[in-house]
Every structure is written in C-alpha cells, then in structure tokens.
C-alpha cells in the first residue's frame, strides 16, 4: 500500500464509521462519487474489497475491519506526534544533546546541574570527544550543540564565545623550574613536554604557541587525556601546557605549579557552537543562551 494517501485513509475511516458513502461525503464536504472513487482506489491498493453492499446497506469486509483498526492507530499516532511537537514548541522539555570537548568536561557538568535546577524536565545526553571527533560529530549533525575551545574552521557554524579559557604550563612543585620567578618560553626548550594525542585542541594550541615563538622542544611524551597528562606531570615525567581550568584542584592543593612564563597564560575562550542550518529545540536554545549569559560567572565560582 505504498501509494496510499492520508486523505484516502481519512475518507475510508469516515465511510466505515457511518457505514454510508453519502454520509461520509457530507461529513467531509465531498460529493458521493468522490468518496466512491477514493475508496475504489484504496481497494485497488489493498488488493481486497473493503466494503460489501448487501441490499441497500453497506458493511465492512474482514479486510475493511483490519484496515480500520490500523487507520485508527495511525490517526492516534498522528495526534500523539502533534501533541509532542506542541509541547516541544511551547515548553522547555525534551533532550539536550550536547557534545563537549574533553577539556570542557571539567566544568560543563556543573553548568548542566545549575541549568537543570530551572528545567528539571530536561533530559541530557552529554558526550565527550577531542577536537577532531567533535568536528566530525558536528559535521554529521550528530549532536545539537558543542562546547569547544576554538571555533571550527571550514564548517558553516555559529560559534559564540562564553567564557575565558586560560592555558598555562604546569610542573610538579618539586621541578627545578617551579622555583624560578620568571621564565621565557625559550628557557623550556630543553624540557620534556607531556602532550595530548593528535586531534586534541590543546595540542594544536601548544603547537601554535611553539611555532609562533619559534621554539623547538625536542622531548615529547604523548598522553591520551588531560587526566593522564596531569598525573604524569605530578609524577615528575615532564611539564605540560594545559587548560588551567582542568587542573584547578591540583593547583589549589599545591600538587601542580603554574610556571611563570612570559606571555602566558594563553588567553583562549570557550565557545558554544552549532551548525548554522541547525534548528535548535527551545530547550537547547535556552541552554545556549544560559551558557552565554551565565557560563563565565558560574565557571569562576567552581
Ligand atoms: P581538547 O580541546 O580537549 O581536544 O584538547 C580543548 C580545546 O579545544 O581547547
């Protein structure tokens, strides 16, 4: 029944309800031949007669009964869809489907908790990726909204800045560089740098920093996450450029020292990003506005 139209099903339902083509025609403001014609086409598609005419009376055949049950179920589904869409349009419920860059996972949950105090009915799907993966997700329309450290290049997006993201170089407090009062980037050329995996935005920021300063550290150890980078720095394996928000507890507890390097911290920002063509649900759009209006002060209190 591939070519059946909703209109035909509606006409069939009216004829089945009234058990009369003329009453169905009246109810739908159609002529009786128009109703007969649509029913005939529907019967052709069904491959079975749907009505039988006995004397002057019209009855549903068994096939007609079966189809009627389905048509009523379809109508109920449509009403449900209508109600779901209406409630989505008029209220802030539904799913918040956001992709967050791995470095932002240190503060996004706290922002979500605050947001859900106001919109308790919001369901949340939070996925954590590195920069490369998040760009692929956005491009595939696989998440509604993304939080990242640098707007995507080469993707038609709207990226709005909502909070500062300072990047600094950290070392173990026992590291000799931690005792220095002032350092230039060039002083660190001989150090071992712990770096994130390729595809990471933090790594990209570090590579740009070194290229712009024209310094060429020779020893790198690659670690797959901020967490591992921090643990490795604390264990004395080397030093690392990281988003200071990811290390705030360790810095406050004196387990990591921020090196006083001239020109640092690197002042980057957090951005909330969506594809330009993406139609955000009212809830998701509200979360976007919430990040822009309240993200920075909330992050500052963490
Ligand atoms: P990352 O990204 O978690 O992929 O390093 C952070 C950023 O883009 O600032």
What pLDDT digit, counting tens, does each position of 6-45 carry? 999 999 999 999 999 999 999 999 999 999 999 999 999 9
102 in contact with ligand 1, CB cutoff 6 A:
yes
Please report where in the chains the tokens 């911290």 appear, as a residue.
265
pLDDT score of 300 more than 80: yes
pLDDT tens profile 99-126: 999 999 999 999 999 999 999 888 999 9
By CB atoms closer than 10 A (0-12, 13-18, 19+), residue 12 is buried
200 in contact with ligand 1, CB cutoff 6 A:
yes
Pocket test for ligand 1, best of 99, 147, 168, 200 (most atoms within 8 A of CB): 200
245 in contact with ligand 1, CB cutoff 6 A:
no
Distance 260 CA to ligand 1 centre (A): 22
Q: Which atom of ligand 1 is nearest to the CA of 243?
A: 9
131 in contact with ligand 1, CB cutoff 6 A:
yes
- Asked if 292 and 159 count as a contact pair (C-beta separation under 8 A), the reply is no
> d(Cα 59, Cα 53) in Å, to the nearest integer?
6
Q: Which residues pair with 160 in a beta bridge?
A: 272
* pTM higher than 0.75: no
Task: Determine the 3-state secondary structure of 269 from DSSP.
Answer: strand
Pocket test for ligand 1, best of 131, 133, 159, 198 (most atoms within 8 A of CB): 131
In this structure, which residue's CA is closest to atom 6 in ligand 1?
A: 201
240 in contact with ligand 1, CB cutoff 6 A:
no
> d(Cα 11, Cα 152) in Å, to the nearest integer?
51
């Amino acid at each position: 029944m591939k070519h059946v139209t909703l209109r035909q099903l509606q006409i069939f339902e009216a004829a089945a309800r009234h058990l009369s083509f003329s009453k169905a025609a009246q109810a739908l403001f159609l002529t009786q031949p128009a109703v007969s014609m649509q029913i005939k086409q529907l019967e052709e598609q069904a491959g079975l007669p749907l009505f039988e005419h006995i004397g002057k009376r019209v009855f549903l055949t068994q096939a007609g009964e079966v189809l009627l049950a389905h048509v009523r179920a379809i109508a109920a589904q449509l009403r449900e869809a209508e109600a779901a869409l209406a409630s989505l349009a008029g209220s802030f419920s539904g799913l918040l489907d956001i992709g967050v860059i791995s470095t932002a996972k240190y503060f996004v949950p706290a922002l979500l908790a605050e947001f859900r105090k106001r919109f308790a009915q919001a369901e949340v799907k939070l996925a954590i990726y590195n920069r490369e993966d998040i760009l692929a997700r956005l491009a595939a329309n696989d998440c509604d909204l993304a939080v990242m450290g640098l707007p995507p290049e080469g993707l038609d997006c709207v990226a709005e800045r909502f909070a500062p993201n300072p990047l600094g170089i950290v070392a173990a407090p026992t590291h000799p560089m931690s005792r220095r009062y002032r350092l230039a980037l060039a002083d660190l050329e001989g150090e071992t740098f712990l770096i994130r995996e390729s595809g990471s935005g933090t790594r990209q920021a570090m590579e740009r920093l070194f290229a712009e300063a024209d310094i060429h550290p020779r020893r790198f150890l690659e670690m797959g996450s901020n967490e591992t980078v921090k643990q490795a720095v604390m264990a004395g394996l080397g030093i690392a450029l990281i988003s200071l928000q990811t290390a705030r507890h360790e810095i406050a507890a004196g387990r990591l020292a921020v090196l006083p390097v001239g020109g640092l911290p690197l002042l980057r920002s957090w951005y909330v990003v969506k594809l330009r063509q993406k139609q955000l649900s009212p809830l998701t759009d509200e979360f976007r506005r919430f990040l822009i209006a309240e993200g920075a002060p909330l992050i500052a209190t963490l």
